[in-house]
Amino acid sequence: MAGRAIVVVLGKQGAGKGTQCDRLSENLGIPHVSTGDILRAAVRERTPLGLEVESVLAAGNLVSDDLVNRLVEERFVQTDALRGALLDGFPRTPGQAEALDTFLGEDGIKVVIDLEVSSELVIERLSSRRVCQECGAIYKDTDVAAISGTCERCGGDVIQRPDDFPDAIARRLDTYERDTAPLKEFYERRGLVVTVDGSRSPDEVTADLVEVLKSRDLT
């Protein structure tokens, strides 16, 4: 691997970003950095930034770009991210992308992968998704853990999140299209975006992603 490997993974909710980032993390030996995970960890560990996040969420407000940017920057100085990271859920807007450029310095983004799936497939996938409230493990509604309501990994409660109901999914898709279209254009102008068909089986998608990373000298 040549230098620090910073890979941004874009895609609609349900495109498979989390699954693929976990797989590539093992392949590359760099962490899967998810904005959601960072927020939950900061709140759980009651770090100074975590207390700010907790206060914002308790007031029913959205976490600001500035606060998210600071959380991600803080994550990038941790030892396991010194060789690089797979970014999932960040950046979401051109403003966040510019902040990322600022604190990455010369390392920069090596490639931006866009996992492309139809909105119809997103609704189908997310409607059947169940999530552990404790560790974030994801299940299908037909899995034993989903049926029993108990996570196989940590024993936490497995639920259907409110934002995985069809009406909520539709609103999230509208937000994604509004915010991410300009973000894709931001990276396309720099020749960084590679689009991969995310509608196929996880193994087929992973195989394509590994080839993309090889072409950028990241494996």
Task: Indicate which residues carry an active-site annotation.
Answer: 17, 92, 129, 161, 172
How many whole angstroms separate alpha carbon 9 and alpha carbon 194?
10
∠ Cα 185 219 29 (to 5°): 100
Q: Give the Cβ contact number of residue 122 at 10 Å.
A: 22
How many whole angstroms separate alpha carbon 67 and alpha carbon 95?
13
β-pairing, 111-116 vs 5-11, is parallel
Region of 217 please: left (phi>0), alpha (psi -120 to 50) or beta. Answer: left
How many whole angstroms separate alpha carbon 94 and alpha carbon 182?
7
The residue to which tokens 């087929």 are assigned: 204
Nearest to 13 by CA among 68, 76, 88: 88
Structure tokens at 64: 């600001």
